[in-house]
Each structure stands twice: as structure tokens, then as C-alpha cells.
Chains A and B, each alone.
Chain A
Amino acid sequence: MATAVTRIDKPLTAAIPKKKKKWQSYALLFILPSFLIYTLFVIVPTAGSIYLSFTSWDGISEDVRYIGFANFVEIWQSPRVHNALKNTLVMTVSLVLLENIAAIMLAVLVDKVRWFRNLFRSIFYFPTLLSGIVMGFVWAMILNYNFGVFNQILDAIGLGSWVVDWLGNPKYAMISIILSTVWKGAGYYMIIYLAGLQGIPAELNEAASIDGASGFQQFRHITFPLLAGSMTVCLVLSMISALKIFDQIAVMTDGGPGFETETLTYIIYKVGFGELRQGFGTALAMVLFLIIMLITVIQVKFLRKREVQM
């Protein structure tokens, strides 16, 4: 009996690998260009960066000296780096929360609205089309103490006492950057949440409505749990984007006032390019890479578990 089975299986198993082999050759050829480019522009520079992080290279001379773990010891001890790390974490937590809350609210709003649905989608999505630099310039002009339209409006409506230097006052500089970044980023996540919302069967809400559930109860017990997949994507993307925030800071505050809005990515650029310490900057970049990797792994693990539970 067993021999018979072997006889039937033999020609089949011989034919499949041949076909597979052919397709595998094509697949490898198609993958090869991407693999080469990725290796050339990502893997090789990353490997080079690992070496540079152990040097005192200034970025312009040919003198690249190996200094062991000195850069990492300095990172561990530097109050400026600690401050940048603190600012990065504050900014990341705030941005992840606010961008996602705003995006869910906008998505629900756009999903429910009866008229001008496409117009609203376009309006909310439009800021994401701007580059961080352009967005930074726009908001820097709006929030400028002397010429900015925001302070002029406050003045015009009798709130002159509220006029402050939004980007120069340490109390408000960070908040200003966070809110302007939420304005730019929320539209992007709104689209992902909107796709999630449209995948929720209407019957569930209808049934809940018949059972007497209020709008909020429907959102709390049906919509929100079923958005878990979209939320995983949005939380991870917004977290990575927040950890790497750079453009807005460069244009709006230059890391200031003082060091109030200096983040890890910004300090990497400042020390690497402005302060002629490429080796130290690269070591900082390696630290940031590890932080992002660690947080992403934890976040994805937690959110996937939550998705399964939902």
C-alpha cells in the first residue's frame, strides 16, 4: 500500500520543484536590483556607521582615529544628550497620542458626514502633502512674535495679554512644535483609520442601535476594538516618525530656545555637521537606531497581542 502511494507521488514531486526552480530564478532576478540598491545605500552605510561610531572623525579630514567606546561613554555622561533624549521622549509620547486621537476623530467625522465628504477628506489630508520644512516655515511665520498672524488675531480680539513668543518661550516652544506636527500628520493616519472604519460591517452598528446602544457605546464597544489593526499600523508609524522628527525643529526653533527643543535626531545633525564631530554624531545615531528598534519591537508585540485579544 505504501509502495503504491510512493508511485503516485513520485512524478508529482519531481514536476513541482522544476517549475518552482524556474520561477525562483525569475524571482531572484527581480529581487536582485532592489537587493543591490538596498545593500549599497542602506547596509553598507550602516556597517560603515558602526565603525565610525568608534572613531573621533571630524567629518572633513582624512584622519579617522579609533577611540574605542569613548563616544558611547560621553553619550552616557553628557547632560546635553540626556536633555535631548528627554525632549525626544516627551515629543514622541505627545505626538503618538495626539496624532492618533486627532486622526480617529477626523476619520469618524469624515465617515459620518453626509455632505462634502470628499472635500473634507481632501482638506484634512492636504497638510500631509507639505514637507516638514515648508510646514515649519509656514508655522514659524504664523507664530512669529512681531509679525505673526496668530498674535495679531489675539491682539485684535482683545486677548493682547495672551500674546507671547510661541517659539521663543521655553514654556510654549515644544507645545507649538507638537501641535503644528499634529496638524501636519493627523490627515495621513486619518486615511488609514478611515479604511479600517469602512471595513467594519454596518450590520454590527445597526444591531447595536436596535439593542439601544448610544453612539458613544457603539464607538466604545464596536468601532474602537475593530480598529485594532489600523491602530497597530498608525501607532508604529507615528512613533517612528516622532522619534525621527527633524525638519520642523530645524526651521522653527533650531533646537531652542537654548536647548529646549533639541531632540536626538537634531543633536545628531548639529554635532555631526555643525560641530565637526562626525564620529560622536554617528555613535548617537547608533543609539537612536537601537532605541527605535527596541521600542518598535515592544510596541508591535504588545499591539499584536491586543489585536488577537480583540
Chain B
Amino acid sequence: MQKKTMTKLSVLLLAATTVLSACGSNNNNSKAGNTGGNTAASQSPDAAATDAKKEVSFSIGYAAGDPATKKAIAATVEAFMKVSPNVKIKDISETTSSAYLDWLKTKDAVGEFPDLVEMRDTEVFADAGKIVELPSDLLELFKDPPQVKGKVWNAPMSVNVPQGIIYSKKAYADAGITELPKTYDEFITIQDKLKTSGITPIVVGGKDIFHMGFWVNKFLIDDVYTKDPDWNSKRTAKTVSFTDPNVVQAMTDFKDLFTNYVDKGWLSTGDNQTASILVSGKAAQLFSGTWMFSQIKEADPNFEFGFYAVPDREGKVNVIGLPSPAGWSLSAEAAKDAGKTQAIKDFIRFFFAPEQYAAYLASINAIPSTKEKVIYETGEQMQAALDLIADPNVTKSLAINNWWGDNLIPPQFRNWYYKLLQDLVVKNGDVAGYMKQADTEYDAQVKANAQ
């Protein structure tokens, strides 16, 4: 009797253990059609074509912090699944309070790295073997896709757009501002006029760490990167320093602007609240990119606003606008599955087809990266941004973390640096002292990453 009971219990335990083991199995390996081999994406066999109607599913992940971008990509995914009913795309993107890299890393840690992923830290993930090269037959779609170590890893979703001041025309008129600034000093004079008129000059969504980068990089580009595009690599080699006069000047301007003209609630304001604050008349200006235009129009279709790039002290205009290695990338795991790879390639072609791509670009006011001409309607503000990109006198540059190759900074440095600058402003710190801390941390991170 006892033996029988023991046997029953043993069977029960065995069953429970089996169920638990099944729960823990890697879902990446459970999909039908997984070859389990190590074939690269570019080697997708013809067998995939013969299996064209076979059910295929893949996951997609992208930075969903901007509602307009999320809406635009979700619409393209929906449209693709309608024309390709055998393909199921699982959108695993989430709007989180974390930075996109944090989210992506977390997904990787739990074994849910997206099959098709919007990649921003391309070099880091390529080095880690998480993504594969863009399939060679897709390269023909793009004008000049950026390369990392001689290889193209991304299908660039758009060209980097310039960032600048989005201003309320009413607030400018009320403050008696009739002309846009030609130098940085004139820009500051405008801030004083706005302040005197009783409105908060600038709203900043500093709660989201990426938003800090808009202003930080404006000053870094003016004083550092336009003069020396290889500054990052020199910093890594310790031949330049954050305590150099040009960097200290840039950060002093940053600190002065934030201390005197930025909304007092900037550190608890999220990026997605800035449009509301602008259209409600609580603030007169927002420094951001062209993707905000549609958000602002959605918040108040009658709100009248303009866009311009803030000039430097010498009157030169410098904006973000160089290409950088970012865009859709195929995960190394997905590339092992020929059917999945083919479906992803089909999706990428669909995404960049003019009729789809135009809708995507129009909804987020982006600039096409494709060879094929894409026509879509733009407003007055977007035209100003396009003029900046087309103007040869406007210097194009990149944000501190968007450089690559020798100019790649330690991936963890950007957020730390932006937080240091928050600290600098709220504690009214000494700029040179804080930049000394930046040097120490940068060197420590370079050293840690070299281990």
C-alpha cells in the first residue's frame, strides 16, 4: 500500500517537474520552421520562396516613446499583415518609463529580443552578435546607408532630422518679437523679452533622460563637434578634455539657459507633456525635433507655431543631420530561420515602398532614406527643417552618442553625463568642477569596457 502511494507521488512529482521544465523552454526555438542552423540572413534559401504561403510569425520591437511614431509603425504592421495574411507580426514594443536601450536589454535578458528591431546602439549589439548584417538584396533600397566596420547593419528608417526651436507665434507676437534670431545673443534677447511678457520662455521634458540630449547636443555641436568631428575619439585617447575651454563654454551656456529661461518643473515634465504645455500657453517654446509637429497639431489643430534652428554666437547654424547607423536590424536568432528572414525582408520592402513610407514619413515629419523618391505633404515648419538640411551653409553633425567607430563613446556614458548636467543645474554647480568629474567617469568607463 505504502509502495503504491509512493509510486503515485513520484509520478505526480515527475509530471510537475516536466510541466515546469516546459514552461522554462526557450520560445525562440519552439517556432515552426526554425532550422536551428547558423545561416546568415543573406543566405536565405530559395526554399523560403516555395514555402511562401507557410504560416510565419516574427516579433518586432521599436522605440515607442513618441506616440506618432508608434501609431505610424503600428499602422504599417497592420497593413502588411492584411496583404500577407500568412505572416503574423507580434508587436512587443512598450511605452515604458525606461530608456529604449534599457528596454531592449531587458527583453534580451528574458529571451525576448525582437526578431526585427529598431537598432540605435548598432555597434554594441553587432559586436555582441545579437544582430546580423542587412541582407545584401535590401541594400539597393537606400541612398547611402551608414556602415560600421565596413558593413551595413541597418535599414535606416529615415535620415537624421534637425532639431530646433518650435515656438508659439502668438507668444512671440505678444512679446513684440518680430524677427527670428541671427546669433545666439539675439536668441537670448528673445528669451528676455518672453520672460518680461510674463510667459515661461522654454519648456523642457527633463524627466525623460533622452530629452536632455536635445539642448546638451545643441551646445556641444556648436562649440565642440563642428570644430572637431573626431573629438570623441580624441577624448577616448585623452588628448582632449571635458575641461577644455570650448566644452566648458558649451556647458556654461547650457547651465545659464536652464537656470534663467526654462520652466521650473522641467525635471518632472515628461517629453510627452511638452506639447500640451506649449499649446496651453504655459510656455512659449520647445527645443525638439520635427517629429513633434504632428503631436502639437494633434494637441491643438489651431495652434500656430514656427520652427527655426538656434544659431551660434558667430551666427552660424549647426544642426543634427549627418547619417548615423540606426534603423531596422535583423536579429541573429531570427536570421537562423529562413522563413522568418524572408518574411522580415518582405516587411522591410513593404515598409519602404513609397505609398507606405510616405504615410510613415508624413506622420512623424521625417526625411526619407530611400533611393526612390517619396512625395508627401509637408507643413511650413517641416519645410523650414528641409531647407536646413538642403542648405550647404548649415553644418551637419551628430549627438554625442550617435557617432560610431573610433568616435563611439562608452554606451553607458550618455545617460550618466545628462544626469550630471541635471545635477549641475539644480545644485548651481561649478561647470569646470563638474567637467572634471565627467573626465574621470569617461576614463573609468573606457577602462571598464576594455576589461
Pick from B20, B129, B276, B451 the residue with the most CB of A within 10 Å: B451
CB distance from B191 to the nearest CB of A (A): 19
A169 to B273, CA, bound (A): 18
Whether B423 is near chain A, meaning CB under 8 Å from some CB there, is yes
Interface segment, B296-304, B370-378, B410-418? B410-418
Pairwise interchain contact B268-A22, C-beta atoms closer than 8 A: no
Whether B171 is near chain A, meaning CB under 8 Å from some CB there, is no
Pairwise interchain contact B422-A256, C-beta atoms closer than 8 A: yes
CB distance from A255 to the nearest CB of B (A): 7
CB distance from A67 to the nearest CB of B (A): 5
Within 8 A of B (CB), among A249-269: 250-251, 254-260
Interface segment, B33-41, B56-64, B99-107? B99-107
Whether A223 is near chain B, meaning CB under 8 Å from some CB there, is no
Residues of chain B within 8 A (CB-CB) of A32 are: 13
From A62, A146, A170, A274, give the contact of B415 (CB < 8 A): A274
Q: Provided the pairs A258-B427, A275-B411, A280-B448 are in contact, do residues A22 and B2 lie with their beta carbons within 8 angstroms?
A: yes
Whether B322 is near chain A, meaning CB under 8 Å from some CB there, is no
A5 to B160, CA, bound (A): 95
Residues of chain A within 8 A (CB-CB) of B81 are: none
Pairwise interchain contact A274-B412, C-beta atoms closer than 8 A: yes
Within 8 A of A (CB), among B195-230: 206-207, 209
Whether B16 is near chain A, meaning CB under 8 Å from some CB there, is yes
Whether B317 is near chain A, meaning CB under 8 Å from some CB there, is no
**Chain B window 415-451, contacts with chain A (Cβ cutoff 8 Å), 1 for yes, 0 for no:** 1100110111011000000000100010010001101
Interface segment, A53-61, A195-203, A294-302? A53-61
From B16, B206, B269, give the contact of A33 (CB < 8 A): B16
Pairwise interchain contact A74-B266, C-beta atoms closer than 8 A: no
Pairwise interchain contact A276-B411, C-beta atoms closer than 8 A: yes
Pairwise interchain contact A274-B266, C-beta atoms closer than 8 A: no
Whether A13 is near chain B, meaning CB under 8 Å from some CB there, is no
From B264, B416, B427, B451, give the contact of A56 (CB < 8 A): B451
CB distance from B71 to the nearest CB of A (A): 22
A7 to B247, CA, bound (A): 95
Whether A180 is near chain B, meaning CB under 8 Å from some CB there, is no
Within 8 A of A (CB), among B63-99: 97-99
Q: Provided the pairs A61-B128, A165-B265 are in contact, do residues A74 and B444 lie with their beta carbons within 8 angstroms?
A: yes
From A146, A250, A259, give the contact of B423 (CB < 8 A): A259
Residues of chain B within 8 A (CB-CB) of A169 are: 267, 426
Pairwise interchain contact B207-A145, C-beta atoms closer than 8 A: no
Nearest to B264 among chain A residues (CB) is A165
A208 to B263, CA, bound (A): 60
Pairwise interchain contact A166-B268, C-beta atoms closer than 8 A: yes
Whether A220 is near chain B, meaning CB under 8 Å from some CB there, is no
Residues of chain A within 8 A (CB-CB) of B426 are: 168-170, 257-258, 260
User: 9 A-B pairs, CB-CB below 8 angstroms?
Assistant: A32-B13, A61-B130, A67-B451, A145-B264, A145-B268, A165-B268, A251-B97, A258-B423, A258-B426
A residues bordering B, Cβ < 8 Å? 22, 25, 29, 32-33, 36-37, 56, 58-63, 65, 67, 70, 74, 78-80, 140, 143-147, 164-170, 250-251, 254-260, 270-271, 273-277, 280
User: Which 4 pairs across A and B sit closest by C-beta, in order of nearness?
Assistant: A145-B265, A168-B267, A258-B423, A275-B412
